[in-house]
Amino acid sequence: MNIMNTITIPKKIAKHDDVVTIPRKEYEALLGFKKIKEFFPTAVQKKALVSAEQRLRKGKTLSYHECAKKLGLIH
């Protein structure tokens, strides 16, 4: 025999669509994301990113081979 559990959601919460129901395994998987450290770039890193995005839009990019050569990884 299956017994169904009943829950009551307060109208205060339900009227704002603030309720989400998901299976426990999915919830636990979502909790795992809390362990991932978020990256907060410094002002210098933000400036470098803006500059890189501008070069990308202008088509000023390097191939993998060119980049590796400039970094001294290949000769």
**How far apart are the C-alpha atoms of 73 and 75, rounded to whole Å?**
7
Residue 49 exposure: Cα atoms within 13 Å on the Cβ side: 7
**pLDDT tens digits, residue range 20-36?**
888 899 999 988 888 87
Q: Where are the beta strands (DSSP E) in 1-75?
A: none
Kindly indicate the confidence band of residue 48, based on its pLDDT and cuts at 50, 70 and 90.
Answer: very high
Q: Check: pTM over 0.85? Answer yes or no.
A: no
The residue to which tokens 């795992």 are assigned: 32
Residue type, 9: I
Residue carrying the six token digits 């603030």: 18
